[in-house]
Amino acid sequence: MSGTDTRSLVRLSKQPSVRDTVTRALRSAIISGEMQPGRVYSAPSLGEEFGTSATPIREAMLDLVREGLVVAMPNRGFRVTEVSSHDLAEVTELRLFLEPPAVEKATPLIPESAFAELRGKADDIVAAADRGDLVEYLSADSDFHLAILRYAGNARLTQLIQSLRSQTRLFGLAELYERGHLTGSAKEHHTIMDAIEARDAVRARDLVFSHIEHVKGDWSGHTVGEPHPAEANG
């Protein structure tokens, strides 16, 4: 990985601090696959590539440890998190137990005044998918789902789901975009919003269930469960 390529992943001049700049650039490199899963990177070597000291690199990496993107390796550096198919299957099973019923509970509780903001978040997901901005895609996707879940009124549940989502956020995302499937997955969020705005809690639950299974199938390279509605409709 060359320093020039890493820094080109973001527009550094628009970041508010060196730490934020480095954090975003490292996050981009990890999500895009430029920094390889399982490989250990040292702060001094990354500092040389970024033209900065090791201190902001370490600070940025600690932020990414909390996000689940890297693991601290004492006296060695930081290892980029690996996500296996088995890991994905286990996390998906838990999400299927937790998220759909939470969305069903939240649907009648979401005020109409929140619909426009949620639609905007769905738009952000699609826009990021269209341009292949994987960092913004993940951020917008998380914002959308967690915003809905918060209306279920269970903060611990929301935090648990957020943790589960972060554990598999890297799995095959770059490949999904390269295969041209990311935009299709992104557009499912508008279908979920259609059900929420119609106050059809059961349909919202079922769509979220299908969405999680569909994403898992796409990210692992094979179909899981029933055909996705978009596929069934041609």
CA dihedral for 49, 54, 56, 60, sign (positive or negative): positive
DSSP 71: E
pLDDT at res. 9: 44
Contact of 114 with 162, CB cutoff 8 Å: no
CATH number of domain containing 185: 1.20.120.530
Note whether 189 and 168 are same-domain residues: yes
96 and 209 in contact (C-beta within 8 Å)? Answer: yes
Domain identity same for 76 and 144: no
**The two structure tokens encoding residue 226:** 């029933």
Half-sphere exposure of 207 (CA within 13 A, CB side): 22
pLDDT of residue 225: 37
Summarised one tens digit per residue, pLDDT across range 22-69 is: 888 888 788 767 788 889 999 999 988 888 899 999 999 998 998 888
Query: Are both 7 and 94 inside the same structural domain?
Result: no
Per-residue pLDDT at 234 exceeds 90 = no
pLDDT in tens, 146-157: 999 999 999 999
pLDDT at 13: 43
Same domain, 128 and 110: yes
Q: Are residues 98 and 27 in the same domain?
A: no
Q: Please check the confidence at residue 231 and state whether its pLDDT lies above 50.
A: no
pLDDT for 220 equals 53
Pair 37, 96 in one domain: no
Decide which of 82 and 42 is more confident: 42
Residue 45 belongs to domain spanning: 3-80
* pTM, two decimal places: 0.72
Tell me the pLDDT band of 170, cut-offs 50, 70 and 90.
low
Q: Kindly tell me if the per-residue pLDDT of 229 is higher than 60.
A: no
Same domain, 131 and 210: yes
- C-alpha–C-alpha distance, residues 5 and 17, integer Å: 20
| Chain centroid offset of residue 181 CA | 15
* Domain match, 148 and 101 both: yes
Kindly report the CATH number assigned to the domain that includes residue 41. Answer: 1.10.10.10
What is the domain count for the chain? 2
> 89 with 200, same domain?
yes
Contact 50, 25 (CB under 8 A): yes
- Are both 76 and 13 inside the same structural domain? yes
Whether residues 58 and 91 share a domain: the answer is: no
pLDDT given for residue 147 in this prediction: 97
Residues 20 and 55 in one domain: yes
